[in-house]
Amino acid sequence: MADLSGSTILVVGATGGLGREIARQLSEAGATLVLSARDPAAIAALGLGGAVVAADLTDPAEIRRLVQVAVTVTGQLDGIVVAAGVVAFGPAAELAPGTVERLFAVNAVAPMLLLQAAHAALGASAAAGRSPAFVTLSGVVSESPTANLAAYSASKAALAAFGTAAGRELRRSGIRILDARPGHTDTALSTHPIDGTAPALPRGLDPVAVCARIVRAITDGERDLPSTAFTAS
């Protein structure tokens, strides 16, 4: 996917700090966007152009519908960026069952179901000579699980493991899975956890630079972005 002109890319979690910046940079690179999040008004307010599709990622039927609608925008789907995610803070022994369930539903299960739903469309993109990519952001916690982020770390580690295995399965079909694992980045995610309170966090990476590195990896055909790939961001 070296040239994004003529490509159609679904950005899931488009209103988040990384999602909206990745979407902006993909649009500047020539991609046609399909933007998804829970609140369609918030997506439209970004002013990025492209189709807007609201979806609840905890509902498998909504995930299938999201992909179906995305394909109808231009008749093709050449990439998905999964930038949606939720976080929770607190000791492992005190995590509420509902918190753990939601962390895994959004951070791990939803991307798995998105890949399943999009498999045929991404395969058609590859067959047409394009280079479809499925991009996940498991983050540095999938490499280095963090105290007081145990369940969040586990949900992201599950996502990274899924991508590694699925990427091996899909390589011959021409579908590329790319997982990005930047360190703590200055977005608003930590300010609205689904449970707990964020501790004082050090200054994070620049989100614009982090997203630029991810978009460059998409266009350059990379398959893995470990935390060390972002040290200069």
Q: Tens of pLDDT along 13-48?
A: 999 999 999 999 999 999 999 999 998 889 888 888
**Domain CATH for 122:** 3.40.50.720
Q: Would you say residue 17 lies in a domain? A: yes
pLDDT (0 to 100) of residue 40: 86
Provide the mean pLDDT of the chain.
Answer: 95
Look up the domain containing 63 and give its range.
8-89+111-146+167-230
> Which of the 8 DSSP states describes residue 18?
H
Closest Cα to residue 228, out of 199, 205, 200?
205
**pLDDT at residue 166 greater than cutoff 70:** yes
- Listing DSSP states for 19-65 in one string gives HHHHHHHHHHTTPEEEEEES-HHHHHTT---SEEEE--TT-HHHHHH
In a domain, 83, yes or no: yes
Spatial CB neighbours of 228, under 8 Å, sequence gap ≥ 6: none
pLDDT band at 233 (very low <50, low <70, confident <90, very high): very low
Structural domain total, the chain: 1
Q: What percent of the chain has pLDDT over 70?
A: 98
Residue 103 covered by a domain: no
Determine whether 109 is exposed, middle or buried from the number of CB atoms within 10 Å of its CB (0-12, 13-18, 19+): buried
Say if 201 falls within a structural domain.
Answer: yes
- Please tell me the pTM assigned to this model: 0.96
pLDDT value of residue 2: 60
Distance CA 146, CA 43 (A): 31
pLDDT one-digit tens code per residue, 71-121: 999 999 999 999 999 999 999 999 999 999 999 999 999 999 999 999 999
Q: In this structure, is residue 156 part of a structural domain? A: no
What DSSP assignment string belongs to 91-139?
-GGG--HHHHHHHHIIIIIHHHHHHHHHHHHHHHHHHTT---EEEEE--
190 found inside a domain = yes
Judge whether residue 65 has pLDDT over 90: yes
Task: Write the pLDDT tens digit of every residue in 195-215.
Answer: 999 988 889 999 999 999 999
CA–CA separation, 155 and 160 (whole Å) = 9
